[in-house]
Amino acid sequence: MRSQIEALAALQRVDQSLRENTQALHAGESRVAALGEAVHSHETAVAAIEEELTELGSRQRELEGKLSAAESKMKDRRMRITRIRNDKELGLAKREVELLKEEAGGIETELVTVLEQVDVATKRLEAARTELGALTSARDAEDAELRDTIGRLGAAIERDRGRRDELVSTVDADLRRRYEMIFSRRGGVAVVPVRGGTCQGCHMHVPPQLYNQIQRNEQLILCPNCQRMLYWQPEGEEASE
């Protein structure tokens, strides 16, 4: 029994290491994904502002074209007015010039608004690009480190798996299944020593009769309180654990 429990305790150390390394590996992978996601969302934001500016630019050119057309038409009508002798025709031509003036004024107002929007969007684009740049360099710097860590953890996990296979072959199959069930249900601690009459898993006092049975090491004893597998560890042996 003793050697079986000792093998299980060794298996537990490997399993705890496996669990810890696997969690760290997942945390590293999540961090890589989160950094990538942050860069991606900033890239999307920059692209959206660039698109907005493209649209504003074409609206600006359109308005500038309309304004120059209205202005040249106005110039043309004014030239014509100097040659008109008929009062009725003159009145109509002047009215047309007035309308063109109004039209040009409206276009100018709209153009000013568009130019202001271009200005605001340009500043926003600059800020967004700066932020993206900073984020990308931070990502690149951290990424290299994370990939290094992930590589190391992967290798450690491989080693643990190999060691686990070796240990598993030395443990009775039923005992191992019970151990695995307790390990998963009891937060990664299935095999615990009894020290000073106390279960080191839940720190409850173990009844003296049970304590004697554990010391005999003849059968598997579960803690009556936390249901973990108990083994006897004499005082002063903690250091070797």
- Is residue 189 part of the contact set for Zn ion (CB under 5 A)? no
CA dihedral sign of residues 168, 172, 174, 180: negative
- Is residue 226 part of the contact set for Zn ion (CB under 5 A)? yes
Nearer to Zn ion, 169 or 196 (CB): 196
- Is residue 221 part of the contact set for Zn ion (CB under 5 A)? no
Q: Minimum Å distance from CB 17 to Zn ion? A: 22
User: From the list 41, 68, 72, 225, which residue makes contact with Zn ion (rule: CB under 5 A)?
Assistant: 225
Phi-psi region of 40 (alpha: psi -120 to 50; beta: other; left: phi over 0): alpha
Q: Minimum Å distance from CB 228 to Zn ion? A: 5
User: From the list 201, 214, 232, 233, which residue makes contact with Zn ion (rule: CB under 5 A)?
Assistant: 201
| Cβ atoms of residues 11 and 161 within 8 Å | no
- Is residue 223 part of the contact set for Zn ion (CB under 5 A)? yes
DSSP state of 219: S
Phi-psi region of 37 (alpha: psi -120 to 50; beta: other; left: phi over 0): alpha
Task: Find the part of the chain contacting Zn ion (CB under 5 A) among 45-53, 105-113, 145-153, 195-203.
Answer: 195-203
Nearer to Zn ion, 8 or 223 (CB): 223
Nearer to Zn ion, 193 or 201 (CB): 201
- At 19, the amino acid letter reads R
Which residues, other chains included, contact 177 with Cβ-Cβ below 8 Å and sequence gap of 6+? none
Element (DSSP H or E) covering residue 195: strand 191-195
User: From the list 32, 125, 202, 222, which residue makes contact with Zn ion (rule: CB under 5 A)?
Assistant: 202
- Is residue 44 part of the contact set for Zn ion (CB under 5 A)? no
- Is residue 199 part of the contact set for Zn ion (CB under 5 A)? yes
Element (DSSP H or E) covering residue 229: strand 229-232
Report the alpha-carbon distance of residue 17 to residue 10 in Å, rounded: 11
Q: Minimum Å distance from CB 20 to Zn ion? A: 22
Nearer to Zn ion, 40 or 185 (CB): 185
Task: Find the part of the chain contacting Zn ion (CB under 5 A) among 12-20, 25-33, 118-126, 224-232.
Answer: 224-232
Report the alpha-carbon distance of residue 104 to residue 86 in Å, rounded: 27
Count residues binding Zn ion (CB under 5 A). 6
Q: Provide the token pair at 183.
A: 């390990």
Nearer to Zn ion, 81 or 222 (CB): 222
Q: Minimum Å distance from CB 226 to Zn ion? A: 3
Phi-psi region of 110 (alpha: psi -120 to 50; beta: other; left: phi over 0): alpha
CA dihedral sign of residues 55, 56, 58, 59: positive
Site residues, Zn ion (CB under 5 A): 199, 201-202, 223, 225-226
